[in-house]
Amino acid sequence: MNKVSKVLALKYRPQIFEDLIGQEIISKSIFNSIKLNKIPNAYLFTGIRGVGKTTVARIIAKSLNCKKGAENLCKIELCESCASIINSNHIDVLEMDAASKTGVDDVRDLIEFSKYPPSTAKYKIFIIDEVHMLSKQAFNALLKTLEEPPGYLKFIFATTEIKKIPVTVISRCQRYDLSRVKFDELLSYLKKISNIEKVKLNDDVLKLITKISEGSVRDALSLLDRAIISSEENKELNLNDALKIFGYFDKSYLIELFEHLLNGKEKKLIESYNSIYDSGIEAKIFLNDFLEILYYLKNIDFIQLNGNNFSLNDYEFKKILEISKRISSETILLYWQFTIKTLNELDIVSNQNIAIEMFLLRLMYLKKINSDSNIIEKKNLSENDKLRNDKLTINNEVDNTNLKNKTISQIKNISQPKNETKFIQNAIQIKEFNDLIILCNERKEIKLKYELENNVNLVNFENERIEISFNDNLDKDFVKDISTKLFQWTNKRWIITFSKEVGQPSKKQMEKKNKDELLKKASDSIEYEKIIDVFPDAKLIEIDTDKKND
């Protein structure tokens, strides 16, 4: 620990593996590799900000070069080597920020420097922070040295953007993913630091700090610093003051706002939001917290009140549980999409406060529309969607006894015009399925002709009734389109019935089958064998049936 520093994040920076919190398995693995002298050429640490990537790198550097050895690593009384590493002035431990030195020339200087053995320590160590910032050429220049470095040379990389590092580099490193520190573990750590610093902080304040930090130890200590500075001497900092200090607001206000939204109380909804806005909350923070409430509403049955990842108090948990029973999952997911959309819109509006007010009003009226939408949705479902979900409506007007094959279910086309005034004087008679295909061709209905020939399998055709099965490529508007055209051409309403029976092969399937049979018959002929003898590479691909008949 750096006792001289006044900043908590530096003052309580871990100096040995045992001090690290939330990374016990990784710490043990690295310590064992050093203890057993099975040290990789390069370490690669990845994770969010403030979980200990650079700290672990320095501890490794100390463990490799400490005068007392890795098992007795310096913690309080530091040896010359450990003291130099902590102060970033060790001659054989070079710590570089790749964000400021991204070019290939910087890496070449590094490689040139690596050719010389360490001056005072056992290992020469290069710690490169934010390594993903290196250029492509810089990575390429590093590959050879990284794969076969001298025995005294070790690399330690740290990054928050692992996806930006070439796979060729990752494969040459021993990778460790540092996870976020768990809620309870980080909370206990903050209580420990508070006791050491002898400051009075409410448990609710520490829970708030833990939640805002999102698993980052550095963020948590920085927030704790702000809380300590803002608290009065011999007086405990309460939650309301902490909320103002951190620019955060109590979720109970947001839950109250959500109740006004669901109850359709426009005036109270806007007043509730304005009170939140007046407390200094930014628009994006408000929307992100709104998303969090939506998440709680959707998953409240799976959330533990004292879980590691949540900080709901008893009142909030109870209220969210009550609200969740009044709102459907579909509405919650719809609200989620609207909120995400509004987040993206905030950057293009000049007054974000007005944008949020309109967002809330849109949700309130959307709730009213959504509550009355079941009947509308049923009416607007396409026939094909109903079929694919096995929710076909049965036409009670049809006499099922006349069907040759029992159909599973059927649809009566509801989109046929009710008040059609223009009739064709000479109504066309369609006696069989092939007549319908020919008619589509004559009337230039190419799309319908294509569907009938390729995607429809006929089961039965009679008395203005077509019973078919189909494949997955059938257009979703086929039933509506063919029914409309049949009514126009014949002055009669046709019933399109769907069956789960396979039905006859489509016209194209029949044509292909006939062609294959002809090709097979021709390929077995003596004439074809004679041609192959003369032209071994020849291949029969087509038969002109007209010429054959001649």
Contact 114, 149 (CB under 8 A): yes
Whether 2 is in a domain gets the answer no
C-alpha 9/C-alpha 12 separation (Å) is: 6
Mean per-residue pLDDT for 386-406?
A: 41
Number of structural domains (the chain) is: 5
**Per-residue pLDDT at 414 exceeds 50:** no
Query: What distance in Å separates the CA atoms of residue 300 and residue 405, rounded to the nearest whole number?
Result: 50
Helix (H) or strand (E) holding 158: strand 153-159
Q: Is residue 14 part of a domain?
A: yes
The whole-chain average pLDDT of the chain stands at: 80
Please state, for a pLDDT cut of 90, what percent of the chain lies above it.
23
Question: 170 pLDDT band (50/70/90 cuts)?
Answer: very high
**Which residues, in sequence order, are CB contacts of 467 under 8 Å at separation 6+?**
403, 405, 407, 458, 459, 460, 461, 497, 498, 499
pLDDT, residue 469, reads 85
Asked if residue 458 is part of any domain, the answer here is yes
Residues 25 and 100 in one domain: yes
Domain-located, residue 381: no
- Whether 31 is in a domain gets the answer yes
Tell me, yes or no, whether 16 and 154 share the same domain: yes
Cα angle for residues 265, 290, 284 (degrees, 5° grid): 115
Residue 503 reports pLDDT greater than 60: yes
| pLDDT score of 155 more than 90 | yes
Domain CATH for 69? 3.40.50.300
Q: How far is CA 542 from CA 186, 453, 513, 518, 520, in A?
A: 76, 21, 13, 9, 11
Residue 122 in this model has a pLDDT that exceeds 60: yes
DSSP assignment of 223-279:
HHHHHHHHSPTTSPBPHHHHHHHTT---HHHHHHHHHHHHHT-HHHHHHHHHHHHHT
Residue 460, pLDDT above cutoff 70: yes
Please tell me the predicted confidence (pLDDT) of residue 529.
78
Task: Indicate whether 177 pLDDT > 90.
Answer: yes
What residue numbers bound the domain in which 346 lies? Answer: 251-374
Do residue 399 and residue 535 come from a single domain? no
Nearest to 154 by CA among 88, 95, 81: 95
pLDDT at residue 238 tops 50: yes
pLDDT for res 489: 86
Using 50, 70 and 90 to split pLDDT, how confident is the model at 154?
very high
Among 160, 177, 194, give the residue marking a domain's end. Answer: 177
Whole-model pTM?
A: 0.58
Residue 85 contacts residue 118 (beta carbons within 8 Å): no
What is the per-residue pLDDT across 488-502, written as a single tens digit (0 to 9) for each? 888 888 888 877 777
Q: Where among 245, 260, 281 does a domain terminate?
A: 245
Alpha carbons 159 and 490: distance in angstroms, whole number: 72
297 and 369 co-located in one domain: yes
pLDDT at 370: 52
Tell me if 321 is assigned to some domain: yes
pLDDT tens string 271-300: 989 888 887 788 888 898 899 889 888 888
Whether pLDDT at 549 is above 60: no
Of 456, 480, 498, the one marking the end of a domain is 498
Residue 383 has pLDDT above 70, yes or no: no
Give the range among 118-132, 157-171, 368-382 with minimum mean pLDDT.
368-382
The verdict on 14 and 153 lying in the same domain is: yes
Residue 390, pLDDT score? 42
* 408: pLDDT strictly greater than 60: no
Residue 228 to residue 220: CA distance in whole angstroms: 12
Looking at mean pLDDT, say which of 92-96, 345-349, 456-460, 486-490 comes out highest: 92-96
155 and 30, same domain (yes or no): yes
Q: What is residue 304's predicted lDDT score, i.e. its pLDDT?
A: 59
- Please give the structure tokens belonging to residue 390: 């096995």
Whether residue 47 lies inside any domain: the answer is yes
Domain of 313, CATH number, reads 1.20.272.10
Q: Are residue 226 and residue 140 in the same domain, yes or no?
A: no
What are the pLDDT digits (tens) for 57-79? 999 999 999 988 888 888 878 88
If you average pLDDT over each of 94-108, 159-173, 378-392, 424-438, which comes out highest? 159-173
Q: Are residues 271 and 140 in the same domain?
A: no
With cut-offs at 50, 70 and 90, classify the pLDDT of residue 316: confident
Same domain assignment for residues 316 and 363:
yes
Residue-wise over 376-411: b if at least 16 C-beta within 10 A, else e? eeeeeeebbebbeeeebeebeeeeeeebeeebebbb
Q: Is residue 25 in some structural domain?
A: yes
Residues in contact with 455: Cβ distance below 8 Å, sequence separation at least 6, in sequence order = 470, 471, 473, 474, 475, 478, 506
Do 526 and 454 lie in one domain? The reply is no
> Which of the four pLDDT bands, split at 50, 70 and 90, describes residue 426?
low
- In angstroms, the CA 154 to CA 185 distance is 32
According to the model, what pLDDT value does residue 381 have?
45
Nearest residue to 332 via CA among 344, 341, 323, 345: 323
Same domain, 429 and 308: no
Q: Are residues 205 and 337 in the same domain?
A: no
